[in-house]
Structure 1
Amino acid sequence: MKENNLNREVVVIADDFTGANDAGVSLAVRGKKVSVAFQTPFTGDTDALVINSDSRAMVASEAAEKLAHYAADVTAATWLVKKIDSTLRGNPGAEVEALLTLSGKRQAIIAPAFPAAGRTTQGGICRVSGVPVTETEFASDPKTPVRHAQVAKVLAEQTALQSRVITPDRLADALQGDAPLLIVDAQSDDDLDQIIVAACGCDERPLLVGSAGLCDALARRLARPRQLLAVIGSMSEIAQQQIQRAGEVANVSRVLIDIDDVFRNNMAGYLQQISTALAAGHHCLVHTCADVQARHQIEKLCQQRGLSRAALGETISAFLGTLTRTALEANTPAALYVSGGDVAMAVASALNAQGFAIRGQVAQCVPFGRFLGCRWQGPVMTKAGGFGTETTLLEVLHFIEEKMSD
């Protein structure tokens, strides 16, 4: 999870505005919050930052110098992408070298292919609908004409870094070698997906260099999951009915917390159950109340533990807060749902939240938004324990599965 909004999952450097949008749209479609910046520093809340350097028509040295202004954004990225034109226009060699220097990365994967638009690379040659790019209209582009169809020659005009042409199936081995520029053929989306898989297998993430095709492949890999982690501390009858109805759905797993484990601070087994459920693609409902009768056992439980009702509630809420924080450190559900005011506040406290930004309403009595200034930056939904109908939690699950994937 991110400690602040500058440690972004993806940072893309594009050399023109439409290219920046092309690079970011697939991430947005797959649930990421994407912003395109014309100026930096950009401090907005975003999962993916796309910076338009507007450098395509600059001379190579000026383009490289302009990228130096983005050093802070480049070093904070989990994934760093240099968006280039699929027909090799612009300053790919100079800008790739500049970003390698800024980021400290050892290698760049260069895959300009965009098969969905008829742009492929075979034997290191850039083709448009099967024709070498130098035999198309892009060779006479009025601003940035393309003089070479071989990707290596285009790069060599602007950088002395060594390059090597390989196929996707050989990329994993090549990433263990010394060549700083790995030009990878791609004739299909499957090839681009294979490239991203190889990049994910590296201890040090390489610089990704490509057009919208490679950006789309990265977005497919990083697509936000649609699972909900629900933490329900309320013992109200309606809350139990909501759990019961939602638990009848096939892709929902329930994790019942034993109160004895709360006092033993034994949460390892529950964390494993939560991880297993989310990894299986299930929504996960964490709750402390087995049925509607459990609320009538509170007085007996307080006597056994020598605690007041308030102290008992605080102990359970604190356990759930810590459990939730730890679960979110190990998993990335699509959203977090907390029911019961004390539990919601305990979760916020465990995450070091400084506030809550309301964005809207999912279902009746279920506001949603984001915690401010804290570790969890995903959507958060809250509900007072006794509010809603027996189908409220089902409505929330529907929102996660349908609306959040639009």
Structure 2
Amino acid sequence: MKENNLYREVVVIADDFTGANDAGVSLALCGKKVSVAFDTPFTASTDVLVINTDSRALKASDAAEKITRLAPDIAGAQWLVKKIDSTLRGNIAAETTALQAISGKRQVIVAPAYPAAGRTTQQGKCLVKGIPVNETEFASDPKTPVPRADIGDLFGESHATVVTVDTLTTVLAQGTELLIVDAQSDDELDSIIAAAQHCDPVPLLVGSPGLCDALARHLAPVRRKQLLAVVGSMSEVAQQQIALAASQPGVSSVFIDVNDVLTGVTAGYLARITQALEEGNHCIVHTCVTEAARHQVEMLCQQQQLTRAQLGETICAFLGELTRQALAARAPDALYVSGGDVAIAVARALGAKGFEITGRVAQCVPYGKFLGCAWLRPVMTKAGGFGKEETLREVLHFIEERLSD
């Protein structure tokens, strides 16, 4: 049977069906294949196996006996989780002890907190919205009443050590076998997973959906969506927008020297844009950094013997082609173009036949998609002089938090 577990990154043992689904859903949402088994052995290939033992209301000895049958199904799992009820209902100690025995795990981390549902752990006690669980309605649950809030009491004579997230790593390194970890936030649950990861072997994790959510965040962190912004406008407003956005963490800027464009010395710009995107940053490409640059246009026209219109067309054509190459080399999640001439130059470079509008962000930035070309991801456009200083920063936040694929 062990060969069936080669692709089981995580095995979760739950004591009821809805709890099994609660444990697995965040792992499914982060891209894992999650299977919930009602019966074992389970032979199908899956990234995450969640086993429902349906044992919450059984006698402790019967619940433990069910766990002992699961040895073939847990073998080879990188992460082993005993999913428990966040209000301590069920046979937590009996099932945890049985699972530790068949898995051979030396250390156990118990962290029942589920902050999103108002369940926290403080000084080793389970609280529901700040009230000890045995003083809430769960104390009189018709099937599985909860008589105590002290988590350590569940394990009877077993020596449980109550620790905070700040001391968890140190106590784990000392070899303490049974740890109850206080947690009042998702960040603290994330820290528990991080501490467990550095143990060899990884401890048995005992927790509610909150801990399973933290494990999902650890195994498949959400990649921040990226924007390639191409700003050809020389307006003062556009420069203020660039400066504020570029000062934010995770934002790179690539200044295009117009003299390089006119002399053909453009090698390296594409590599800089690609590098910024590969590093996970937003990238702002622009041609103007100061007010003085706007007053150099006439001098450039005289030097190159070009009209202002010809100069603008040359720069825009370059930006359009550079954008096309950048999108082909390392596609971001969305494209932002500021300045009407630059926007149409980019559209032409991509071979677009039109534009479908689907919405607006930051009050002055329509977005949608190009039609008739290979670039199918969102495109945002903005007139150069429109908006306020925060407009481009607001666009970045929209990309990161709200824009769907």
Name the amino acid aligned to 1:213. G
* Aligned equivalent of 1:141: 141
> Amino acid of the residue matched to residue 155 of structure 2?
L
Indicate the SS of the match to 1:40. coil
What letter matches 2:54 in structure 1?
A: D
SS of 2:173's equivalent in the other structure is coil
| Aligned residue number for residue 182 of structure 1 | 179
Q: CA deviation at 1:108?
A: 0.7
State the match for 1:81 in structure 2. Answer: 81
Unaligned runs of 5+ in 1: 228-246, 254-275, 283-388
1:311-358 CA distance string (max 9 Å, x none)? xxxxxxxxxxxxxxxxxxxxxxxxxxxxxxxxxxxxxxxxxxxxxxxx
| Cα gap change, 1:80 to 1:397, in 2 (>3 Å) | farther
2:365 alignment counterpart: none
Alpha-carbon distance in structure 1 between the residues aligned to 2:98 and 2:189: 24
Residues 241-286 of structure 1, C-alpha deviations (whole Å, 9 max, x = no match): xxxxxx9799856xxxxxxxxxxxxxxxxxxxxxx997x449xxxx
Question: Is the CA contact (8 Å cut-off) linking 1:196 and 1:218 kept in structure 2?
Answer: yes
Asked if 2 retains the 8 angstrom alpha-carbon contact of 1:162 and 1:179, the reply is: no
For residues 120 and 273 of structure 2, what CA distance do their matches in structure 1 show? 40
Q: 2:14 is matched with which residue?
A: 14
Are the aligned partners of 2:11 and 2:74 in contact in 1 as well (CA < 8 Å)? yes
Q: Look up the match of 1:197.
A: 194
Say yes or no: does 1:93 pair with 2:93. yes
Larger radius of gyration: 2
Residue number in structure 1 paired with 2:256: none
Cα deviation for residue 203 of structure 1 reads 2.2
1:67 to 1:129, Cα distance in 2 relative to 1, 3 A: same
Structure 2: gaps spanning 5 or more residues: 225-268, 282-371, 380-399
Q: CA RMSD in A?
A: 3.3
1:281/1:147 CA distance change after superposition, 3 Å: same
Letter in 1 for 2:215: L
Q: Distance in 1 between matches of 2:150 and 2:129?
A: 16
1:198-247 CA distances to partner (integer Å, 9 max, x unpaired)?
111112100010000000111111116769xxxxxxxxxxxxxxxxxxx9
Aligned residue for 2:36, secondary structure, equals: strand
Between the aligned partners of 1:395 and 1:45, the Cα distance in structure 2 is: 34
**Counterpart of 2:77 in structure 1: which amino acid?**
A
Q: 1:218 to 1:44 in 2, by over 3 A?
A: same
What is the letter of the counterpart of residue 164 of structure 2? T
Verify the 8 A CA contact 1:6 1:43 in the aligned structure 2. no
TM-score, length-normalised on structure 2?
0.56
Q: Are the counterparts in 1 of residues 33 and 48 from structure 2 also a CA contact under 8 Å?
A: yes
Q: 2:217 aligns with which of 216, 220, 228?
A: 220
Aligned positions, number? 251
Counterpart of 2:204, as a letter, is L
Deviation, structure 1 residue 95: 0.8
Work out the CA distance in 1 between the residues paired with 2:129 and 2:40.
Answer: 37
One-letter amino acid matched to 2:195:
A
Is the contact made by 1:31 and 1:223 (CA closer than 8 Å) also made in structure 2? yes
- Partner Cα distance (1:149, 1:68) in 2: 27
Distance apart, 1:45 and its partner CA = 2.7
SS in 2 for 1:203: coil
Match of 2:49 in 1: 49
CA distance, structure 2, for counterparts of residue 251 and residue 90 of structure 1: 55
Structure 2 match to 1:173: 170
Q: Distance in 2 between matches of 1:81 and 1:114?
A: 15
**Maintained 8 Å contact 2:5/2:75:** no
Counterparts of 1:99 and 1:217 in 2: how far apart (Å)?
A: 21
Once the two structures are superposed, the pairs formed by residues 4-403 of structure 1 within 5 Å of their partners are 6-156=6-156, 160-223=157-220, 280-281=279-280, 391=374
Report the alpha carbon displacement of residue 42 of structure 1 after superposing the two structures with TM.
1.5
The answer (yes or no) to whether the contact 2:11–2:48 under 8 Å persists in 1 is yes
Matched residue type, 2:133:
V
Cα distance in 1, alignment partners of residues 138 and 271 from structure 2:
54
Q: SS in structure 2 opposite 1:51? A: strand
- Residue 40 of structure 1 and its aligned partner are, at CA, apart by 1.3
Q: What amino acid sits opposite 2:161 in the alignment?
A: R
Does the 8 A contact of 1:134 with 1:146 survive in 2?
yes
For 1:44 and 1:126, the matched residues in 2 are separated by 37
Q: How big is the shift at 1:6?
A: 3.7
Q: Deviations over 1:93-134 (max 9, x none)?
A: 111111111111101100000011000010001000100001
Q: Distance in 2 between matches of 1:173 and 1:224?
A: 25
Map of 1:364 onto structure 2: none
Distance 1:3 1:90, change over 3 A: closer
**Helix, strand or coil at the partner of 1:175:** helix
Conservation of the 8 A alpha-carbon contact between 2:113 and 2:121: yes
**Aligned residues of 1:6 and 1:73 also touching (Cα < 8 A):** no
Structure 2 residue identity aligned to 1:33: K
Equivalent residues of 1:31, 1:224 under 8 A apart: no
Partner Cα distance (2:210, 2:93) in 1: 19
Secondary structure of 1:64 counterpart: helix
